[in-house]
Amino acid sequence: MPKPLPERLGSLTLVQQLGVGKNCQIWEATDQAGGRCVVKAVVPEMATDAGLRQLFEHELKVATSLDHPTIIRIHRFSEEGGLPHLVMELFPHPNLKKRIQAGTNLLLPKLQRIVTELALALDHVHARGWVHRDIKPENILVGDDGQVKLIDFAIAAKASGLLGKLLGGKTPPQGSPSYMSPEQIRGQALDARSDIYSFGCVLFELLAGRPPYTASDTNELLNKHVSAIVPAADKFNSNITPTASKYIRTLLAKKPADRPKSMQEVLAQLRSIRLVESLS
């Protein structure tokens, strides 16, 4: 059974658990120095893992190079009782995956804001020289009014696609299988167009209620991203306009050269087309 985190980490008091991963836990907390916040802490069993510490320090480095209202703020990296942890802004709303599971029709009134703010967040990330590499609904927090906060920069990399010494020279491709670009799967150098592919996967799911590809195992899923015909989103939801469905297929082009070159280009296009036939 996993060891529990202590109730206190220095000036922080853990209030309620918000999420859990293989190597970390996410908690809402109160900070004597500054009110409510979120704590991302390494689980006690992995507290001495140097690689995890490096990832936390890397995530802080990326986040502090960013400054945009659609991106979660990370305040500091600390260690108390031998537990490395990040302290970040609290945005007390569900992620987009949970919103989609509750019903895509509920998202229609705020659809344009969600899409626009996610595009603005990615444009800012790319302008600062980073590729997020893990764009997925679980990493997008969405408020009741459609406000977006992009989170989790643990595997973000410079536009060359390399994390250098942090992850070593030759490592398996990292990311989430349902949203990875073909070049990410192949372990090739990445630029903004890889995130644009992942953005296309998220937009597909936001409109169709499911990711573009599903499979019985991870290898089959990755192979579909690399070689399967790009599906039409409007086949899964007749409310999606043909124009939007066609544009999503452009975002999901197998070759980076066949996708839009930047999120600014994507944003301009999305502002010029209607995504759904009806908002009711």
d(CA 200, CA 222): 16
Residue pair 55/154 in contact by the 8 Å Cβ criterion? yes
Cα distances from 62 to residues 47, 65, 66, 128, 165, in angstroms, run 22, 5, 7, 9, 15
Active-site residue (options: 134, 152, 195, 234): 134
* Catalytic site includes residue 134: yes
The dihedral region occupied by 2, where left means phi > 0, alpha psi between -120 and 50, and beta the remainder, is beta
- With b for 16 or more beta-carbon neighbours within 10 A and e for fewer, the 27-45 pattern comes to bebebeeeeebbbbbbbbe
Is 171 strand, coil or helix?
coil
What letter represents residue 23's amino acid?
N
d(CA 273, CA 255): 23
Residues with catalytic roles:
134
